[in-house]
Structure 1
Amino acid sequence: MVRTPLTEPERDRGRQLGLLLRQARGDRGMTTVAAAAGLSAETLRKIETGRIPTPAFFTVAALATALGISLDTLAALCAERHVA
């Protein structure tokens, strides 16, 4: 199966999501948050830097839970940044 290349707006949304997750992590260690979400630190790093611009829903949900933020809040922040 060949994946369709992402558009620039899709890549921008991925970078915005990564930035929001990085801000929500604050001073908590990447390894600690990744482990709490059931991910590797490298996967979290790739999401935070936008190298994985479209992480799976369950990955985002696990990160939101590990960071103590609701999916509703995360979605609202992403939409707010996308409009701005």
Structure 2
Amino acid sequence: MVRTPLTPEERERGELLGRLLREARGGRSMVEVAAEAGISAETLRKIETGRAPTPAFFTVAALARVLGLSMDELVVRCVLAGV
């Protein structure tokens, strides 16, 4: 199966999501947050750096829960931010 290339807007949205999650993580370690969310630190690293611009919904939901973010807030900040 061939995956459709991402649009520039999708890439920008992924980078913005990564920045928001990284900011919310603050001083907590990547390993700690990833473990609490039930994902690998490498997956979190890829999301935060924009190398995984379209993470699975449940991955984002788990990270939002661990970081104290609401999914509504992420939608507003990522989708409605003009990206």
State TM-score, norm by structure 1. 0.92
For residue 76 of structure 1, report the CA deviation from its aligned partner.
Answer: 1.4
Structure 1 gap ranges (5+) = none
For residue 69 of structure 1, report the CA deviation from its aligned partner.
Answer: 1.0
Structure 2 gap ranges (5+) = none
Q: RMSD in angstroms over aligned alpha carbons?
A: 1.2
For residue 7 of structure 1, report the CA deviation from its aligned partner.
Answer: 1.0
CA distance in 1 between counterparts of 2:52 and 2:82 reads 21
For residue 54 of structure 1, report the CA deviation from its aligned partner.
Answer: 0.2
Identity of aligned residues (%): 67
Structure 1 residue ranges, 4+ long, deviating more than 3 angstroms after superposition: none
Map 1:40-51 to 2 at 5 A: 40-51=40-51
Map 1:8-23 to 2 at 5 A: 8-23=8-23
CA distance in 1 between counterparts of 2:32 and 2:26 reads 12
Q: How many residues align?
A: 83
Aligned to 1:39: 39
CA distance in 1 between counterparts of 2:67 and 2:39 reads 13
1:2 counterpart = 2:2? yes
